Amino acid sequence: MSLPWTKIDRIFEKAEGEGRDVLLEPEVYEILGAAGLCPPKFVIVPAGRTVPAGVLTSFPGREVVLKVVSPLVQHKTDVGGVAVVPKKASAVNARIRDMAASFPKRFLAWARRTRPPGLPPGLTASAVAASIRGYLLVEKVESEDIGFGSELLLGVRHSREFGPVVTVGAGGTEVEFFGERLAEGQAAATASAHLLDASRILEWLSGLAVTAKLLSPFRGRSAPLSPAGLTKAVARFVELAAHYSAFSPASRYVIEEAEVNPWVVRAGRLVPLDGLARFSRRREPLERRPAENIEALLRPKSIAVIGVSEKMNLGRIILRNILRMGFPKEGLTVVKPGLEEIDGCRCVPSVSDLPGTVDLFVLTLAAEHCFPVMEELAAGGLARSVIIIAGGMGEKEGTQSLEARIVGLLEAGRAAGRPTPVVNGGNCLGIYSKPGRYDTTFIPHRKLRFPKGEDSGLVVISQSGAFMICRVSSLRRHEPLYAVSLGNQIDLRVSDYLEYLKDDPRAGIFAVYVEGFKPGDGFLLARAAREILKTEGRAVIVYKSGRTPEGQAATSSHTASVAGDYAVAKAVLEEAGVVLAESIAEFENFVRGFLALRGKRAGGRRVALLSNAGFESVIMSDRLGRVGAPLDLAVFSSATRAGLAAALARLGIERLQDIKNPLDVTPVADDAAFAACAEAVLADGGVDAAVFSPVPMTPAMQTLPPSELSQENLAAEGSVASRLIALYRSSAKPFVVNIDAGSDYDPLAGHLEDAGLPVFRRCDEAVAFLGRFVAASIRGKIGR
């Protein structure tokens, strides 16, 4: 159904013409009615008028609801602005007179006590009285009596980062009660109006307590509401929110904030009882940077560097890092007066002396010297892309204007259609590009060695350069395809790189660290991530900082960007399929784990747990329902139980332990027994994934390297490590290995990691990761 947008626009036009940015409740009713959302019957009684007796005859029931109508008043109940009265003209008119006399003083006393935002200063009772446009006469809706928690709330708030964000949850007077007492995901659900697919609305709302209440049979009666009825109401509300968005060119108006609360069920349909809305004409154009210039940035054929000293400064370190990566010297130019060449690369005295347009220009000068260089590059069309290393730009007092001037230079060039470079930075650590054969980070090779190895498909994009290199240096064997330090994002943003790389088949696992979003960039990031995840075998893993007021303040001072609402970011990104890490350790675990399991896929949530320690069996079981994506204990088939019993019978373990899931094979189990059990549970058709946790201190297993103190060999052909490696390579099902032990067993963990296995050092972390991997796998995002 296409909604009557012209009719709805006239409602906004009327309010705007009266100098209001707030819709009155009857106007909200009119919009809901135009959207097919069935508001109750209502009429307006203008201020100073009375209700004719004939008006009430068309209202059902014996009572009606009377509400004061004023642009000053959003929530009426607490200030005496709502009353239930008999359906008689005399009773209604008497209550209108009482409200007109008492309401202004009650409202003013409440406003002085609570100090709500948005009220004009110096407000008086007479001004409140003058603001009353009339009284809303509404039918009293007789709703389904299904007890506590049966009312619904639908709201939308326009976020600067994500655009219109819709929230659905328990409504009425119980909103705060549910919000405080229910677990995350049970009280309310939040999503981007632009990204929420109507076909997924029921799945999106499935975890809510109010959804279960509305869609379930009650005391022998059928469910109050059908899934189709709930889906229709939410879908229409989402359509309104998406149309009246600052990102949408289809409408002149933007719904900044709206709330319809509560909705009740009457005769199998949702009926909205109360509503408020605030609107504007704000626009947030979603600008995109030239994609072809991102190609030049990531895979340049020519590079120029300015700021290189004959002594070892940042520019010289960057030049040597570029050369160390194998970038050809003939493609490198250094802007350096007084020299013919440096490190075998030709020098030119100034930017204007560049032999032609370079694909990438690396600007390593101090912040105050950056604008003249950028101006010269832009005027001559001398660079397709620029990396600005300069620290402090946009953060140190006095440098904000420099950043603004560069932004203005880029905007003017693009608006005029002139060749204009894309810019990464400023205040960034640089970029590492394996396909581009360059490294512009200013950390010496002796202090930072990017892992070298097989193509992992890893892309690291970080607003913080330090975060980027700390994470990369912790990887044992996964060389990044790209590692991008964004800095202040004065031009290129996270979403630009995701959007560009979504079509690169080599890019598979995206590890993203972000502190704050530019306007609209949270939405663009989520949209790009959703497109990336349409290709199996990929994952987007995000660590979002700046979650608290203190963290947001630190973000602002660190990268000159403002952090948004973390709860909204979490909801929208996860709805797009992003894996959101709650800690740095979890972020690293997720990156390693997804890289290791790329190419494997779980068909469901049924997990097998295998350990040789009882405490781990208990702890892993405890964690199954408390991870971000819950797992179920698999039920072993009779054939699997027989195979497990046979594997353990050789050592007599079947007499010590029941054959069940989780399976504790005890410290008696040797390499062969443990591996045989692992193989048996993976072969079970009722098992989708597994955690294998051989506590390595048992003398029954070879878990140490050869030494004077030990005759063991963890890499021997029959060792548990060798057997698990062989199983990993032969099985299509995902499993993770946990090695809970100290540094003596680092060689064992390293040996397994070097063979490609996902290795954890705490069993609860192993289960937490597997839950997130399985959830992504079920959504069809991970696999071959």
Per-residue pLDDT, 398: 58
Tracing tokens 């929110």 back to the chain, one arrives at 241
Tracing tokens 């100090």 back to the chain, one arrives at 115
In eight-state DSSP terms, residue 76 is -
Q: What are phi and psi of 162, to 5 degrees?
A: -115, 0
267: phi > 0 → left, psi -120 to 50 → alpha, else beta; which?
Answer: left
Of 158, 135, 148, 168, the C-alpha closest to 260 is 168
Q: What is the mean pLDDT of residues 294-305?
A: 97
Q: What is the mean pLDDT of residues 114-120?
A: 80
Asked if the model's pLDDT at residue 78 lies above 80, the reply is: no
Q: Tokens standing for 271?
A: 């009926």
Per-residue pLDDT, 121: 85
CA distance 83 to 67: 7
750-775 residue pLDDT tens: 999 999 999 999 999 999 999 999 98
Contact (Cβ atoms closer than 8 angstroms) between residue 335 and residue 306: yes
Name the amino acid, one letter, at 642: A
Contact (Cβ atoms closer than 8 angstroms) between residue 43 and residue 54: no
- Kindly report each contact of residues 337-343 with a partner whose C-beta sits within 8 Å and lies 24 or more positions away, as own/partner: 339/310, 342/308, 342/310, 342/316, 343/316, 343/319
Contact (Cβ atoms closer than 8 angstroms) between residue 437 and residue 444: no
Asked if the model's pLDDT at residue 196 lies above 90, the reply is: yes
Asked if the model's pLDDT at residue 184 lies above 70, the reply is: no
Q: Dihedral through CA 303, CA 309, CA 314, CA 320, nearest 10?
A: 50
CA dist 465 to 327, 385, 442, 472, 566, Å?
22, 19, 10, 11, 22
Task: Pick 407 or 121 by higher pLDDT.
Answer: 407
Q: Residue 280's beta-bridge partner residues?
A: 254
Asked if the model's pLDDT at residue 571 lies above 70, the reply is: yes
Of 444, 447, 400, 448, the C-alpha closest to 426 is 400
Q: Tokens standing for 614?
A: 């009882």
CATH superfamily of 600-778: Succinyl-CoA synthetase domains (3.40.50.261)
461-514 residue pLDDT tens: 999 999 999 998 888 788 899 999 999 999 999 999 999 999 999 999 999 999
Asked if the model's pLDDT at residue 551 lies above 50, the reply is: no
Of 170, 200, 172, the C-alpha closest to 185 is 170
Per-residue pLDDT, 567: 85
In CATH, the architecture of 152-280 is 2-Layer Sandwich (3.30)
Asked if the model's pLDDT at residue 233 lies above 90, the reply is: yes
Query: 201 Cβ partners below 8 Å, 6+ apart?
Result: 230, 231, 234, 235, 238
Q: What is the mean pLDDT of residues 435-444?
A: 94
Per-residue pLDDT, 559: 27
Q: Which of the four pLDDT bands, split at 50, 70 and 90, describes residue 176?
A: low
Q: Which of the four pLDDT bands, split at 50, 70 and 90, describes residue 616?
A: very high
Q: What is the mean pLDDT of residues 682-692?
A: 97
- How many percent of the chain have pLDDT more than 70? 93
Q: What is the mean pLDDT of residues 105-127?
A: 86
Per-residue pLDDT, 563: 32
Asked if the model's pLDDT at residue 74 lies above 80, the reply is: no
SS3 call for 620: helix
Q: Residue 632's beta-bridge partner residues?
A: 606
Asked if the model's pLDDT at residue 182 lies above 60, the reply is: no
- Kindly report each contact of residues 72-75 with a partner whose C-beta sits within 8 Å and lies 24 or more positions away, as own/partner: 72/107, 72/119, 72/123, 72/128, 72/131, 73/107, 73/131, 74/22, 74/276, 75/276
302-329 residue pLDDT tens: 999 999 999 999 999 999 999 999 999 9
Q: Tokens standing for 426?
A: 């400023």
Contact (Cβ atoms closer than 8 angstroms) between residue 622 and residue 641: no
> Which class would CATH give 292-427?
alpha beta
Per-residue pLDDT, 564: 40
SS3 call for 271: strand
In CATH, the architecture of 450-596 is 3-Layer(aba) Sandwich (3.40)
Q: Which of the four pLDDT bands, split at 50, 70 and 90, describes residue 557?
A: very low
Report domain extents, the chain.
41-139, 152-280, 292-427, 450-596, 600-778
CB 572: neighbour CB atoms within 10 A?
29
Mean pLDDT of the chain: 89
Q: Residue 72's beta-bridge partner residues?
A: none
Per-residue pLDDT, 715: 95
Q: Which of the four pLDDT bands, split at 50, 70 and 90, describes residue 558?
A: very low
Asked if the model's pLDDT at residue 227 lies above 60, the reply is: yes
Asked if the model's pLDDT at residue 781 lies above 80, the reply is: no
Task: Pick 291 or 556 by higher pLDDT.
Answer: 291
364-415 residue pLDDT tens: 999 889 999 999 999 999 999 999 998 766 555 555 688 899 999 999 999 9
Q: Tokens standing for 690?
A: 């597994």
H helix or E strand, kind and range, residue 360: strand 360-363
3-state secondary structure 684-730: CCCCCEEEEECCCCCCCCCCCCCCCCCCCCCCCCCCHHHHHHHHHHH
CB 374: neighbour CB atoms within 10 A?
23
Q: Tokens standing for 297?
A: 């940035």
Per-residue pLDDT, 347: 97
Q: Dihedral through CA 260, CA 265, CA 269, CA 274, nearest 10?
A: -20
Per-residue pLDDT, 552: 46
209: phi > 0 → left, psi -120 to 50 → alpha, else beta; which?
Answer: alpha
Q: Residue 425's beta-bridge partner residues?
A: 388
Examine domains 152-280 and 292-427 and report if their fold is the same.
no
b/e per residue, 692-717, with b = 16+ CB within 10 A? bbbbbbbebbbbbbeeeeeebbbbee
Of 293, 288, 286, the C-alpha closest to 420 is 293
Asked if the model's pLDDT at residue 193 lies above 90, the reply is: yes
Q: Tokens standing for 371?
A: 């604008």
